[in-house]
Structure 1
Amino acid sequence: MFRRKVQPPAGTRIAPTTPAPQADWSDDERIRAEWPPGQLDGTDGARLGWSNGMALYERGPTSAQLLNVAEYLTRGLAYTYLGKPLITDDQAAETVRRILHLIAALPTPGPPIQDVLAARLTRLALAVTRRRSWQPPSLGGDGSVSDDLLRAPAIVDAVAAPGVARNDNLRHFFAMAA
C-alpha cells in the first residue's frame, strides 16, 4: 500500500534539468538589451578590465575565478559588439575563445546566479562570433572559433530558443547570420 521513495545514494549528483527557454536568444535585440551602453564601463575602464582579464587568464585562474575572469574579458568585448571596438579583431577573436573556455570550465551544477551570469557572458561572445562569422564551418563560419569550444552544455543552453531542440540551439542561433 505504501511505497518507500527511492533516494539516490549519498553523494550522488543529480543533473539539473534544463528549463524550457522563455526567449529566442538568436534575436540580436535581446542580446543588445543585456549590454546597454549606459551600463558599460567607460572606454578606459573597459580597456583596463579587459586587460586585467587577459592577464588573469594567462596566469591560469582557479575554478573560483573563472566567472570573474570571463566577466573582465567582456568589458572590452562589449564595445566590439556595440560597433565601437577598443580591441583589434584578432584580440576580440581570442577574447571570445577565452570566454567560451572559461564558461565551459565552470563547475556544475553551480549556483543559479552563476548560470544566469555565465549565459549572459556566453551570449555576448557568441553574438560577436556570429557578427564576425567566426563560428565553425559546420555552422556557416570561417572556423576562428572551433567546434570544441561550443560543446559545453552551458554554451549550448545559453542560446536556447522555444521550440528548438537542444541539439539544434547553435545551428538556430548561427542561422540568423545568414
Structure 2
Amino acid sequence: MTVQPLSFQIDNMSCASCVGRVERSLRAVPGVTEARVNLAAERAEVQGGQAGELVQALERAGYPPRRETVRLRVEGMSCASCSGRVERALAAVPGVLAARVNLAAETAEVERFAGSAAMTDLVAAAQAAGYAARDAESRPAEAEAEDRKAMEPRACAAAHGSRRR
C-alpha cells in the first residue's frame, strides 16, 4: 500500500536557508522517507512520519506548521466507547494532529495541519467507524427545508400585498 504524501503550510520561512533547515528537520523524523519544501507556496510535502513528531521537529527548528480546528456533527453515538471509536478514526486521518469528541453535544473537534485532512476525509472516517457525520458549519437539508417553509407565508404576503380591508 502506498502512503500518500502529507502536504501542509509552514510559517516563518523567508529564504532558501530556511527551506534547507525545514527539510533537514523533517527528514530527521523517524519514518520520513522524503521531504520537499516550497518557499514561495510556504508548503511542505512529506512522505512518511507521524503528524505529532513532524510538528515537534518543526517547532524545535522555529518553523511551526499552520494549524486549524474544524468541527463535525456526529450522530449515532450512545456511549464513551462510541466516542472513543470516532476519536480514533478521526485521529488516523493523515494530517490530523488531535481529535476530541463530545458525546453529549454530538460533536467532534479536529485539529489538523492547515491545508490537509479534507472535511470529506474526516466525514468518511467517521462513517467508516459506523457513525453519520457532517461539517458542523453546514446545515442539514431538513433544517433548510423547514426554514424555507416557515418563510413561505411571509414571502407570499409580501408578494401579493396584505389583503386586509
* TM-score in same-fold range (> 0.5): no
Structure with higher strand content: 2
| Larger Cα-atom Rg | 2
Higher helix share: 1
Considering Cα pairs closer than 8 Å and 6+ residues apart, tell me whether 1 or 2 has the greater RCO: 1
